[in-house]
Structure 1
Amino acid sequence: MSSRLRTLGRKTVGPDRPVYITGEIGINHNGDLAKAFALIDAAADAGCDAVKFQKRTPEICTPRDQWDIERDTPWGRMTYIDYRHRVEFGESEYRAIDDHCRDRGIDWFASPWDTEAVSFLEKFDLPAHKVASASLTDDELLRTLRATGRTVILSTGMSTPQQIRHAVEVLGSENIVMCHATSTYPAAAEELNLRVIKALQQDYPNIPIGYSGHETGLQTTLAAVALGAVFVERHITLDRAMWGSDQAASVEPQGLTRLVRDIRTIETALGDGIKKVYESELGPMKKLRRVPAAV
């Protein structure tokens, strides 16, 4: 296999391969398994290759001084640590998710935010692990992910070129997919800086480069594909007005269907880059070209 290709489950990601499209569910299910199933169904119906969740161990990922701070939630007023548990799925829920994804013919994986979450996810046969942008500087987590031997998808939001280079050194370059990202929810168009995709392709010629988008709308994600992104991830939701910090930067089911459709059209239209005269052009050539070619 080419050094620029990576295996994600039954599929291969990289140049000259179909764009791998992931619907990022994250915690947009709000701890409700029925909503998670509905989001999986929406992604499968749209033609996504995978859905992605986020997995945290609340006592590790929540700063201790935040545990007892109370906040208003859809389930009433509760402490922050109780809220973190409320939106976190355990093994029984993920077993059900695993079964449902298998029934729908779609892969799933997750972003572990701590090493215990990696151990939890390793109970499942996943195509990859994802490093959230916020975790790019967590060397212990990166080393743990590298040790699994699975493909690792690395998002690069809120990170400097030096930090990205260090993360690649820790992870190793032979088994990762890198995603350009801007970690604002939602991200403004003037801060997407999509040309970074080309810069990353030049800086890391042996690593497939993708795009993790947090903007509103679809056109800039489509532009990322036109610029060569081979992996695309967008947050998805049943309703952007739902409660939760990621909902506003998410794509609803109808938009997701359009996004997948248009990505497939773009990758077909990009072609192979070799200029040729198509058979379909011969009729117009005969009709419209007044001066025959000299060569």
Structure 2
Amino acid sequence: MSCYNHSNPSTFLLMGIPGLEATHFWIAFPFCAMYVVALLGNFTLFFVITTEPSLHLPMYYFLCMLAGIDLVLTTSTVPKILSIFWFHSHEIGFECCVVQMFFIHSFSAMESGVLLAMAFDRYVAICKPLRYIAILTNAVVTKIGLAVFVRGISLLAPLTCMVSRLPYCGPRVISHSYCEHMAVVKLACGDITPNYVYGITAVTIMVGSDSIFIAISYILILQAVLSLSSRDARLKSFSTCGSHVCVILVFYTPALFSFYTQRWGQNIPAHIHILLADLYLLVPPMLNPIIYGMKTKQIRGRVLRPFYPERSRLGFGPH
């Protein structure tokens, strides 16, 4: 890469979970199980949405984007974590470390953007149902997807380039299971203030703006739902948003905890912070397809069709 500093070390050493080295072998089993569930769930979600014509709607296109992002997030980190836990393969090349960091942070930014897009989709579906198809056309959905992708790349590319240009003349041991930005930057022997400020600012602006717009969407949705005269209509509207709210909480809660404790959580034991940071990259990708599979009857019906062909047809209805 053009911003690569040739004085950088050729390799780093990832510790895994500091303080829990003796239990790495056993911790790897639940990690592996969650990874397999995440792979199967998101591949299934992706396959079901792309092959079922009745699911070719904006809501499911965004869900497909979410599944693809989760697959990248888990696959860019978990195999290396498992190799550390099971095979003591702690070494990672410097450029591989930077690339992994880029995928983790940029695709996390993309996931936040997709969650915002899904909140907008629910707002249009509930508050402007008669204009839903006219507003969220395939062209608009494509533009939203491109905007989410470009924002994630453009926001995090400077950060990884800044990391590559720092001089590293001290220990090569990263106190983490993967190449998290601040865990790597702390090993530099130069001025890390620009990295620190840019990282905090970028994440705060991105998560803050996305959270505000998501909250506004759901305030408007809540107002619209409460104004409905039919109790069944209110329950149905709440049900369609319930799965999305669960996914938002599952993503943002551990993400913000992991990010801010890495900078200010000195009183939190390292093994607790690192373990939660690892689970942040595993739990949301594992739970997202389960939550949507259970809460969305169209997806549930399509998945069950091969097993209960006469009953799964009941799972399909109008959007």
TM interval, shorter chain, is under 0.3
Q: Which has the higher strand share?
A: 1
Normalised TM-score (structure 1): 0.27
Q: Which gives a bigger RCO, structure 1 or 2 (Cα 8 Å, sep 6+)?
A: 2
Normalised TM-score (structure 2): 0.26
Q: Which has the higher helix share?
A: 2
